[in-house]
Amino acid sequence: LNHDMTLPEFKFIWYMEYSHRMWGRAVGLAYILPAAYFWRRGWLSRPLKGRVLALCGLVCFQGLLGWYMVKSGLEEKPDSYDIPRVSQYRLAAHLGSALVLYSASLWTGLSLLLPQHKLPETKQLLRLRQYAHGTTALIFLTALSGAFVAGLDAGLVYNSFPKMGERWIPDDLLAFSPVLRNIFENPTTVQFDHRILGIASVTAVTALYLFSRKIPLPRRTRMAVTSLLAVACMQ
């Protein structure tokens, strides 16, 4: 399929892959070596030891998932003349575990660096926390749906917005059978779902920001919510 690829073009994709692998290994060392040192010096509390073990395990699992994902793109498919690509399922798993690892690392770091605010557990504050957790789950789901878009090249199917072509809902939205396959394997449905989830995420973040304005919150929390809205709009 790429018989006309030149040596410089091959080198470009080779170095991209090589750099990604080396960067991943450097991340693994940045976790494991300091963790072993801090553990040996007795600087980790018992709860923190469990968290550090989980993070180091997740780093190793992430590398294994990356290998498993790339392997799917190298499998011979004698009856297929399609562009070789990795499994969208494995790509979503690789991205999802990376997001979990990053979020857990950031949460752990901030928990150690910043003292926890002691706020009165009002009904409004509990609602805000629940809504923030729900918004987090929605954003995570949106990101995972983006992996399916990338894995299927679904972004190339329609290039108009807000309509998809001339229609709000495309004709081939449920073209695959059984119906459930469309959500994960139909490029049109995958792009449609990603659009809906993206709009829903921005709406949820905006609602979270507006709701937070009605509650007396610490300056740090207000900065976090405002930053979240700014990044959502930029995204």
Where in the chain are the domains?
1-114, 116-234
Mapping DSSP onto H, E and C, the string for 92-152 reads HHHHHHHHHHHHHHHHHHHHHHCCCCCCCCCHHHHHHHHHHHHHHHHHHHHHHHHHHHHHH
CB 226 within 8 A of CB 209: yes
The pair of three-digit structure tokens given for residue 147, joined into one six-digit string: 């992996």
**Looking at residue 230, what is its pLDDT?**
97
Q: What is the pLDDT of residues 125-176, one digit of tens each?
A: 999 999 999 999 999 999 999 999 999 999 999 999 999 988 999 988 898 8
CB 28 within 8 A of CB 105: no
**Looking at residue 81, what is its pLDDT?**
62
Of 60, 235, 226, 88, residue with least CA distance to 153 = 88
For the chain, the average pLDDT equals 92
Terminal-residue alpha carbon distance, the chain: 34
Does 224 score more than 70 pLDDT? Answer: yes
Question: What CA–CA distance (Å, rounded) separates 174 from 170?
Answer: 9
Of 147, 156, 145, residue with least CA distance to 69 = 147
Q: What is the pLDDT of residues 62-82, one digit of tens each?
A: 999 999 999 888 877 766 666
User: Tokens 């809205």 appear where?
Assistant: 229
